[in-house]
Structure 1
Amino acid sequence: MDEAMVRRVVLTFYARVRADPTLGPIFDTEIQDGWDHHLAKMCDFWSSVMLMTGRYKGKPMVAHLRLKDVRPDHFEQWLTLFRETARAECPRHIAQLFIDRAERIAESLQLGMFFQPHAGQAGAVRLPRSEAS
């Protein structure tokens, strides 16, 4: 795995997100004309996650907490697109590393955004699980 592979996964994934009828409008509303900046930031993020480069200096939870149109089911769609992208762009063992990390990130973001310990069963969030598990 190298920077070129990380970049390919990120760019291919976000092209799929932008084309997705559910996720595309959510991302376009938030990012507007800042896609070049967002893609560069996501390359830094995934480089830090996968290659431990330390290039990403942001706070993903803070950024996601500002999003008001995102629902828990959007994360499953995000993960579906991510899994497809990783499997298409990477050798199997590397794709699984990407997927494992994406699932942990999605779970963490969902807990931060939607977990309501006093909401009871109605407020429960279904956390994604690996399709490989």
Structure 2
Amino acid sequence: MEAIVAGPERRERLMAEIMERTGIDEAMIERLVRGFYVKVREDAVLGPIFDARIRDWEPHLKQMCAFWSSVALMTGRYHGTPMAKHLPLPVDAAHFDRWLALFEATAREICPPEAEAHFVERARRIAASLELGIAGANGIMLANGERFRRNQAGAV
């Protein structure tokens, strides 16, 4: 019988399995993050939201690399509060759709198919979770399949 593996050893095994299966490594994560944010900064919908909040991009890019390392490879490098950071933003379903479209396009350009699928599946979950949280913070309880639109009754 195999012993139960916990803690850092378990994390190392998970990371190795994901890397083996998908080909994702820290260099790919950095290429994806940097390529994605080039698109975001040039985007008419998302660019102004980021430009109003980020002056020095390098710390943000490093933080996003740590975030995606934690999300994609289970490294535990990110220690932030994504929901709290996104709650005050003036965003809704249209912004998350645009974010996903840019992210998916970047993943398709940079990643092999297995890595692309891995990143995109997680990005879709993250977008849905953030949209749900932002809707709730604006007094809107979304039913399954509903989307948050800022012009909904009661929304800001």
SS in 1 for 2:27: helix
The total of aligned residue pairs comes to 120
2:124 corresponding residue in structure 1: 103
2:86 corresponding residue in structure 1: 64
Shift of 1:114: 1.1
2:46 corresponding residue in structure 1: 23
After superposing on structure 2, the runs of 4+ consecutive aligned residues of structure 1 that deviate more than 6 Å are: none
Structure 1 contact 72–114 (Cα < 8 Å) conserved: no
1:4-40 per-residue CA deviation (whole Å, 9 max, x = no partner) reads 0000000000000001111111111011x12111111
**d(CA) in 1 for partners of 2:56, 2:79:** 18
Matched to 1:49, the amino acid is V
Matched to 1:36, the amino acid is E
TM-score (norm 2): 0.73
Within a 5 Å distance, the mapping from 1:82-93 to structure 2 comes to: 82-93=103-114
**d(CA) in 2 for partners of 1:74, 1:38:** 19
1:74 corresponding residue in structure 2: 95
Structure 2 residue 39 is matched with structure 1 residue 2: no
Structure 1 contact 87–95 (Cα < 8 Å) conserved: yes
Q: Which segments of 5 or more consecutive residues in structure 1 lack a partner in the other structure?
A: 127-133
**d(CA) in 1 for partners of 2:109, 2:65:** 18
Shift of 1:52: 1.0
**d(CA) in 1 for partners of 2:92, 2:56:** 22
Shift of 1:58: 0.1
Q: Superposition RMSD on alpha carbons, in Å?
A: 1.5
1:80-127 per-residue CA deviation (whole Å, 9 max, x = no partner) reads 00000001000011101100000000000000001413x89xxx416x
Within a 5 Å distance, the mapping from 1:46-57 to structure 2 comes to: 46-57=68-79
SS in 2 for 1:30: coil
1:32-71 per-residue CA deviation (whole Å, 9 max, x = no partner) reads x12111111000000001111101000000000121x212
Give the share of equivalent positions with the same residue, in percent.
52
Matched to 2:112, the amino acid is P
